[in-house]
Amino acid sequence: MTSYAAIVRIFVARLAGTPVFDPAGDQIGRIRDVVVAIRAHDPPRVHGLVVEVQPRRRVFLPITRLQNIEADAVVFTGSINLRRFEKHSTESLVIGELLDLTVEVGGEKVTVLDLAMERSRSGEWLITKVAVMRGGAARGLRRRRGETLVVDWSDVNGFGAVQKDQGAANLLAAFEETRPADLANALRHLPDKRRAEVAAALDDDRLADVLEELPERDQIGILSRLDAERAADVLAAMDPDDATDLLQDLPPGQAEALLARMEPREAAPVRRLLRYAENTAGGMMTSEPVVLPPHATIAEALAEIRRQDITPAVAAQVYVTRPPVATPTGKYLGVAHFQRLLREPPSTLVGGAIDSSIDPIRPGLSLHGVTSYLATYNLVAAPVVDELGRLVGAVTVDDVLDHLLPADWRERDEQAPGANEPHDGTPEVTGGG
């Protein structure tokens, strides 16, 4: 690994998601941002890195603790404080706050794509370069519209100005490869204005995935900033059970107004789920499990559970019913576990791979009853069948965990003793070196 002393320049956005290791080789987290102090006449001083450690807690790693840094790994030495990171009023987050700003270079408006930090001869890390993209009429740069340029920090004006509409394209590019849960956690730590800009920049499907990973308060806050038409579109893109949970937290009039704006076929499964009490099988279930008729082949079943848009818990088994196979289905016949599907010839009919020893549960079964059922039969999902013998959904283990955990579990995860103390307190993790 190359020592950072030999590195000339590091572009900050490229560090997002980079694993952070102690000198023993143990990974302690991933980089989520870089903390800088913007000064009036000198290049910004880099204070350190925001590192996300499990469970989804953001902590501060001083830049002085870096031992090695490269594209795929950062190693620190000494100690790292595990208290929750709190940004000081004099500090800025490069990825969260400075990307996408409109600034001026040579009298021309440009958009900030990235910032580069370098280590000075005195040992300080400074922001020295700014990558920008031209977007306005040429005046001082005489380059092509849309061209990317790397300029000195001293040539840029406007970083201190408050901007009404900053956009978020480059911030999102830094999180492009992250899971929705990680982007959701990043979103929670942004100022309200920036959070709204990010939500506006996300497409409906990605925003729906992110909302599903946020605490209820943040879900409602983001949804309330969207216009009614877009809010309905985002709800439609969410899994019906997650959309149902969110609507249950809204005032009844607002929830009904959003449902009315959704396409009838998209609103129908949500309306069905709203009929069930929250802590019952019907209130927790997904209405979109993998369902096939008995004459489908094993090959078709395996193709269905390989889809990227379904979770591992939903993909664990295929439910077999008489047509129609959209919930509520025709007569429920049974379940075929994916392990059994893997053992059968691809041309075999899925009806021949049914496990008839597992009885389905009813929509009114309590949370405790569902938990006991999954534990008793060592299952990650359970079929939910109504009084007419139709499959109406499936309860998965992640649905159960969401209801077993405290309502604020996503916020509790990042709490630790001394969580409200500044990020210059007593170290709690010590590396070698």
CB atoms within 10 A of CB 8: 7
Q: Residue 408: is its pLDDT beyond 80?
A: no
Q: Are 10 and 126 in contact (CB under 8 A)?
A: no
Q: Are 164 and 89 in contact (CB under 8 A)?
A: no
Query: What pLDDT sits at residue 433?
Result: 38
Q: Are 273 and 240 in contact (CB under 8 A)?
A: yes
Q: For residues 78 and 177, what is the distance between their CA atoms, to the nearest angstrom?
A: 30
Query: What pLDDT sits at residue 5?
Result: 47
H helices of 204-263, in order, are 204-211, 216-225, 228-237, 240-248, 252-261
Q: Can you tell me the mean pLDDT for 37-42?
A: 87
Which residues pair with residue 108 across a beta bridge? 105
Q: Which residue has 């129609």 as its token pair?
A: 324
Q: Which residue has 């204005």 as its token pair?
A: 193
Backbone angles phi, psi at 407, to 5 degrees: -60, -30
Query: What pLDDT sits at residue 240?
Result: 93
Q: Using one digit for the tens of pLDDT, what is the confidence trace for 83-99?
A: 889 988 889 999 999 99
Q: For residues 399 and 381, what is the distance between their CA atoms, to the nearest angstrom?
A: 9
**Sorting pLDDT into bands at 50, 70 and 90, what band is 7?**
low
Q: Can you tell me the mean pLDDT for 192-203?
A: 90
Residues ≥6 apart with Cβ < 8 Å to 421 = 83, 86
Query: What pLDDT sits at residue 145?
Result: 57
Residues ≥6 apart with Cβ < 8 Å to 382 = 281, 360, 361, 370, 373, 374, 394, 395
Largest CA distance in the chain: 77
Q: Using one digit for the tens of pLDDT, what is the confidence trace for 263-321?
A: 999 999 999 999 999 899 999 999 999 999 999 999 999 999 999 889 999 999 999 99
Return the structure tokens found at 93.
Answer: 């987050």
Angle at 367 between CA 322 and CA 406, to 5 degrees: 130
> Considering only CA atoms, which of 56, 57, 75, 60 is closest in space to residue 18?
75
Give 39 or 353, the one with higher predicted confidence: 353
Query: What pLDDT sits at residue 425?
Result: 40
Q: Which residue has 């995935």 as its token pair?
A: 209
What average pLDDT does the structure give for the chain? Answer: 87
In single-letter form, the type of residue at position 268 comes to A
Q: Residue 411: is its pLDDT beyond 90?
A: no
Q: Residue 396: is its pLDDT beyond 50?
A: yes
Q: Using one digit for the tens of pLDDT, what is the confidence trace for 220-273?
A: 999 999 999 999 999 999 999 999 999 998 999 999 999 999 999 999 999 999
Give 3 or 397, the one with higher predicted confidence: 397
H helices of 34-191, in order, are 169-174, 180-188
Q: Can you tell me the mean pLDDT for 41-47?
A: 92
> Considering only CA atoms, which of 3, 26, 4 is closest in space to residue 432?
26
Query: What pLDDT sits at residue 204?
Result: 95
CB crowding 343-360: b at 16 or more within 10 Å, else e: ebeeeebbeebbeeebeb
Domains of the chain: 1-163 (2.30.30.240), 169-275 (1.25.60.10), 291-404 (3.10.580.10)
Q: Which helix (H) or strand (E) holds 125?
A: strand 125-134
Q: Are 253 and 230 in contact (CB under 8 A)?
A: no
Q: Residue 138: is its pLDDT beyond 70?
A: no
Q: For residues 431 and 61, what is the distance between their CA atoms, to the nearest angstrom?
A: 12
Q: Residue 429: is its pLDDT beyond 60?
A: no
pLDDT above 70 coverage of the chain, percent: 88
Q: Using one digit for the tens of pLDDT, what is the confidence trace for 152-186?
A: 999 999 887 666 677 788 888 888 888 898 899 88
**Sorting pLDDT into bands at 50, 70 and 90, what band is 427?**
very low
Dump the DSSP string for 315-379. GGEEEEESSP-SSS-SBEEEEEEHHHHHHS-TTSBGGGG-BTTPPPB-TT-BHHHHHHHHHHTT-
Q: Using one digit for the tens of pLDDT, what is the confidence trace for 331-349?
A: 999 999 999 999 999 999 9
User: What is each CA distance from 131 to 152, 170, 173, 362, in whole angstroms?
Assistant: 9, 11, 14, 58
Dump the DSSP string for 285-321. -BS---EE-TTSBHHHHHHHHT-TTS-TTGGGEEEEE
Q: Are 174 and 99 in contact (CB under 8 A)?
A: yes
